[in-house]
Amino acid sequence: MKKYKRNQRIGALMKIFAERPNHLFSYNYFCKIFNAAKSTISEDVAIVKELVSELSFGRIETISGASGGAMFIPILSIEEEKEILSQLCSLFSQKNRILPGGFIYMTDIFNNPNIVMNIAKIISSEFSNEKIDYIVTVETKGIPVSLMTAQKLNVPLAVIRRNNKVMEGSTVSINYVSGSSNNIQTMSLSRRSLKDKAKVLIVDDFMKGGGTCKGMADMMKEFNADVVGTAVVIETKEPEKKLVDDYTSLLILNNIDAKEGIIEIEANSKLLK
């Protein structure tokens, strides 16, 4: 079997870690790939660990012992978050996004893999220290963000439906009040979607009154799940009081002036402290 030089192994390790963050790889796994002794792999991982730290890519956590291994946890620096949030503000504030009725066209942004990946980087970085078993979202434009966040955190995604689907099997359904319209709506989730007493992170694309996020949190009670956090891409400045208290938003929509073609949106300053 071919032997690899150290620089080749280092490059390969970086690729493997980056493609599957938050996954614990055993040293035996690397030993088989590179046809190298565990002591050699341990030295390689130590080099990658130092490199990742120096470049502010995140951190490598190692576990010693017979069943030891290594895991890459990506974490963004404040500078990287500032740059991404600035780019998002520029995208969302383009005047041609204003639709009749004072709405913003966002579909193209949430369907762009590169943009969504950057959004997921911020969310996963913010919750990197939490023990999370599932990402939970509702079937909206937020699904791509939720899916990529799940990939970054190496956990499954559970999608709450607006209507029951035959292929979902037995479901749990609840009624909730929309925070923006005060209308009563229904959401449902397959009983097979979550394991009992799971720790979940709720992710959504947009929050006005907070009714949908509160509905998802109420749904989690039906599964004995613990909501460790709620992340939304955009929240509106008004109403100031939402139906949920503990949440993290990336951007704040202050105002839409359809007549002047102005969208006032800013980064959430709390993320940059």
Task: Check if 6-74 and 78-272 are the same fold.
Answer: no
User: Which numeric CATH code is attached to 78-272?
Assistant: 3.40.50.2020
Q: What is the pLDDT of residue 217?
A: 97
Yes or no: say if 192 and 133 are a contact pair by the CB < 8 Å rule: no
Output b/e per residue, 108-144; b: 16+ Cβ within 10 A. ebbeeeebbbbbbbbbbbbbbeeebbbbbbbebbbbb
Per-residue pLDDT reduced to its tens digit, 37-95: 999 999 999 999 999 999 999 999 998 877 779 999 999 999 999 999 999 999 999 99
pLDDT bucket at 181, cuts 50 / 70 / 90:
low
Report the CATH fold assignment for 6-74: Arc Repressor Mutant, subunit A (1.10.10)
The pLDDT score that the predictor gives to residue 27 is 94
Percent of the chain beyond pLDDT 90? 84
Smallest CA-to-CA distance from 119 within 153, 93, 81 is with 81
What is this structure's pTM?
Answer: 0.92
Please report the pLDDT score of residue 132 as a whole number.
98
Q: What does the pLDDT look like over 80-135, one tens digit per residue?
A: 999 999 999 999 999 999 999 889 999 999 999 999 999 999 999 999 999 999 99
What is the pLDDT confidence band of residue 180, given thresholds at 50, 70 and 90? low
Cis before 239? omega within 30: yes
Average pLDDT of the chain is: 93
pLDDT in tens, 217-227: 999 999 999 99
Per-residue DSSP letter, 161: B
Q: What's the rounded Cα separation, in Å, for the pair 114 and 121?
A: 11
Confidence bin at 166 (pLDDT 50/70/90)? low
Q: Answer whether residue 1 shows pLDDT above 70.
A: yes
The strand pair at 184-190 and 103-104 is best described as unpaired
pLDDT value of position 182: 72
Are the C-beta atoms of residues 226 and 199 closer than 8 Å to each other?
yes
Element (H, E) at 229: strand 226-236
pLDDT tops 70 at residue 160: yes
Instruction: Please report which confidence band the pLDDT of residue 211 belongs to, taking 50, 70 and 90 as the band edges.
Output: very high
User: Hey, what are 110's tokens?
Assistant: 């949430």
Reply yes or no on whether the pLDDT at 171 is more than 80: yes
On the question of pLDDT at 262 being above 90, the answer is: yes
Query: What letter represents residue 173's amino acid?
Result: S
Calpha distance 53→74 (Å, rounded): 10
Q: What is the pLDDT of residue 179?
A: 60
- Give the pLDDT band (50/70/90) at residue 177: confident
Q: Does 23 have pLDDT greater than 90? A: yes
- pLDDT, greater one: 165 or 8: 8
Please state, in angstroms and rounded to a whole number, the distance separating the CA atoms of residues 3 and 24.
24
Residue 162: the pLDDT is 83
What's the confidence (pLDDT) of residue 272? Answer: 85
Extents of the domains making up the chain: 6-74, 78-272
- Enumerate the β-bridge partners of residue 203: 231
CA distance 87 to 71: 30
Q: What is d(CA 228, CA 184) in angstroms, rounded to the nearest whole number?
A: 26
CB atoms within 10 A of CB 253: 21
